Structure 1
């Protein structure tokens, strides 16, 4: 499970992560305030965090977005 903390662009983050194609998939589970909780199929949770961060940073809106991603 990973958690994305972001006050803005939450709908875009959900769409982006759920649409990623690759070794790991992300499924949105719930929203807790500014936290977006995702289940992931990745074995390595730290790699899942890196994948999510990189995907967000590689968008036009993600380059200027204040956010962080943590594993749980």
Structure 2
């Protein structure tokens, strides 16, 4: 499971990650508590999944200015 802490644009981040399907890596939101979004991924290497999620968010038009953290949980 990966955790995305994001105080703003949570719906945007959720939509972005749930539509993401690069190199066969997918994400599905399983919980949201405050600014903490929890996602399941289909690969065993959660560190790689966290890196892919972070890169996907940063690659968007607002990713460079959006405050967020991605971690493995």
TM-score bracket for this pair, using the shorter chain length = over 0.9
Query: For 1:63, what is the secondary structure of its paired residue?
Result: coil
Q: Could you tell me the TM-score, scaled by structure 1's length?
A: 0.95
Q: Could you tell me the TM-score, scaled by structure 2's length?
A: 0.94
User: Which position in structure 1 is the counterpart of 2:52?
Assistant: 51
Shift of 1:24: 1.4
Runs of 4+ with >2 A deviation: none
Q: Does 1:36 align with 2:9?
A: no
Q: How far apart in 1 are the matches of 2:69 and 2:43?
A: 18
Shift of 1:42: 1.4
Alpha-carbon displacement from aligned partner over 1:37-59 (angstroms, at most 9, x marks no partner):
10111111100000000000000
Shift of 1:25: 0.9
Question: How many residues align structurally?
Answer: 72
Q: How far apart in 2 are the matches of 1:42 and 1:51?
A: 11
